[in-house]
A and B are shown apart, each in its own frame.
Chain A
Amino acid sequence: MAISIQIETVTRAFGPVRAVDDVSLEIRAGEFFTLLGSSGCGKSTLLKLIGGFDAPTGGRIAFDGRDMAGIPANRRPVNTVFQSLGLFPHMTVAENVGYGLRLKGLRGAALSARIDSALEMVELGGFGPRDVNLLSGGQRQRVALARALVMEPGILLLDEPLTGLDERLRQQMRDEFGRLHKRTGATFILVTHNQDEALSLSDRMAVMHRGRLEQIDAPARFFEAPANAFVARFVGIDTLLTHQGVIREGDATHALIAGEKVPVRIGGPAEPAESVVALRPDRLLLHPHSEIELKNALALRLKVVETRYRGLHHDVTLAFADGQRVVVSLEADQPVPAPGDLVSVGLKPGGAMLISNAGLPAAA
């Protein structure tokens, strides 16, 4: 039932602008795949190309190896939940959900049975005769979902389906997607700019930027080994430091940052001009100044610039000797160091990575 998708060097150019630029990607059958990116990065365009609403200007898209060129949206085994939903305003909930099946020639009891079970699946049982214009946002969302799922598609495309819902509904619908993915077994492709959705739902995901895929990986890999500075920053690893060079001592590798030797894992070019050191905020440990232990080989000595109370923790901004800054969080009940103090910061394994600086603004 589930269908795999092969995307080979696909480009979609609008005049001189390449909304999708030479993208190659293989999505496995039954996978929950997410395209993550900020608005205008080309993720929705790529989704339209898969759905058949637009044709690539270069490259090839295939389903289960079968070339889809020239096959319009209405003849592809794909169904979509659109960002704007596109519920037909002149039809009831049941008519909306049953529209696709009616086109396939289904009528009568068989049709209403399928509609009912689709509505049950999205927990809208009994809503059939209602007017779609009088439903709440979350209910409309479910109708759109039921309308796509009732077709039992091999591929389900979700185009920013949670945008515009409030936070509670968003979480509820997000869990729904996960549940329906397991239940239907179809290939799900989600387009979103929301990291939470992407991380919690995806088997694999891709971060897209300026029409290109920056990294395609399982969600955890984006934190363990971001492909470059853009990806790191996108997933929330904000501390990206320039360094003066890499020193190799036996097994250990250190990057030199303003005189401090920072143990790093190499994940890209080592040249200072082409790389940055990414520090994972969750792997930094602040030792309050009273217990500075220089014996600890993994500790850095940094100066406190400012502290900020954040409720459940304190944000402590620290500076290297050359002025580059790191923000480390400190539990709320810990004594807060004063600005100007020298503190030592412990680095858990995997806390620092040397990655390509691609995607970083030139000034940084």
Chain B
Amino acid sequence: MMQAEGTLSRLAIWTITALGLIVIYAPPLYLLGVSFNPALQPGLPHLADLTVKWYLALSGETQLVAALEQSLLIALVTAILATLLALFAALAHMELHQRRTAWFLTVLLPMFVPGVIQGLALSAVFQRAGIKASMLTVIGGHLLWALPFAFIVILTSLSVVKRSYLMAAADLGAGRLRQFLDITLPLIRPGLVSAFIFAFLLSLNEFTRAFYLAGRQNTLPVVLFGKMNAGASPTIYAMSGAIFLVSVLCVALVAGPALLRRRAGPAE
């Protein structure tokens, strides 16, 4: 009886898990399939018809490539700045006592401002101040968007750094800077990496703010959206497919060795 119940609930859990995974991964996988279809109309290709011609055609799509370059550059700068600022914000949070909660909410607030409103507001303010829309304005908008997430990630990782470690380091002769470099930094390195990746992806994906703030060169999501409306060329599927594959590769590179190491761990 108990056994049967166990089997049944295990079956239910696996079914739900499988359904969830399908809902999450089916659309991008479908898109990936479409990108290998030689036909102009979207649809899954027959195995025999698989082609990479749209991928080869990508290099000719100067507009898409320029947008991709722009997006990557913006994401890179945003990720670097967001990680650094979030680190400082998190360190400040650690030092504060009574006003901790107020500081936490202040840094977090931009996360809850809808992108449409923030994009519009920033665009209006920039215009008023006479700042021309450019890559920098997009970075500004994305920074506001990515910072709270990076902050939370780093704050979580800072919980590993116990006060007693820093006291012990001070006791052994370390000043504030050495304490930070020798103790805090190595302990929160995984958090910093996560925050960086998080901020990078948030910026790369972001549409609404970029839509308002971009100058002459649009970011990739904006361009892809425009192309969609103008009647899609299959190259945009190839672009999506390429980004998807690169993402998977990145995750494999980061998580793969860690997974292998963990599996090897207990055997030692």
Contacts and interface: CB of A to CB of B under 8 A. Distances in A.
Are A and B a genuine interacting pair, yes or no? Answer: yes
Interface of A: 51, 53, 72-75, 78-80, 82, 84-90, 99-100, 103-104, 147-148, 151
A131 to B, nearest CB: 11
Nearest to B175: A74
Contacts of A88: 165, 168-169, 183
Interface of B: 160, 162, 164-165, 167-175, 178, 182-183, 186-187
A103 B187 contact: no
A100 B173 contact: yes
Q: Which 3 A-B pairs have the closest CB atoms?
A: A100-B172, A86-B168, A86-B164
6 contacts: A80-B167, A80-B171, A85-B164, A86-B168, A103-B173, A104-B173
A103 B170 contact: no
Contact of A89 (B169, B175, B187): B187
A325 B186 CA distance: 62
B161 to A, nearest CB: 10
Given A99-B182, A103-B178, A86 B173 contact: no
Contacts of A90: 186-187
B171 A99 contact: no
A144 B182 CA distance: 17
B174 A86 contact: no
Contacts of A104: 173
Contacts of B175: 72, 74
Q: Which of B160, B170, B187 has the most CB of A within 10 A?
A: B170
Given A74-B175, A89-B187, A53 B170 contact: yes
A103 B183 CA distance: 13
A84 B163 CA distance: 10
A230 B178 CA distance: 45
Contacts of A78: 171
A199 B238 CA distance: 79
Contacts of B160: 89
A99 B186 CA distance: 14
A7 B65 CA distance: 72
A79 to B, nearest CB: 6
Contacts of A75: 173
A181 B95 CA distance: 36
B98 to A, nearest CB: 12
Nearest to A79: B171
A73 B179 CA distance: 12
A207 to B, nearest CB: 26
A75 B173 CA distance: 6
A91 B229 CA distance: 56
Nearest to A104: B173
Contact of B174 (A51, A79, A87, A103): A103
Contacts of B174: 74, 99, 103
A139 B169 CA distance: 20
Q: Which of B162, B171, B173, B186 has the most CB of A within 10 A?
A: B171
A302 to B, nearest CB: 52
Contacts of A86: 162, 164-165, 167-168
Contacts of B168: 80, 82, 85-88, 147
Given A82-B164, A84-B162, A99 B172 contact: yes
B164 A51 contact: no
B171 A74 contact: yes
Nearest to A95: B182
A100 B172 CA distance: 5
A73 B171 contact: yes
A78 B170 CA distance: 11
B172 A151 contact: yes
Contacts of B164: 82, 84-86
A129 to B, nearest CB: 13
Contacts of B162: 84, 86
A278 to B, nearest CB: 40
A88 B169 CA distance: 9
Nearest to B160: A89
Given A74-B170, A99-B182, A100-B172, 16 more contacts: A73-B170, A73-B171, A74-B173, A74-B174, A74-B175, A80-B167, A82-B168, A84-B162, A84-B164, A86-B162, A86-B165, A88-B169, A99-B172, A103-B174, A103-B178, A151-B172
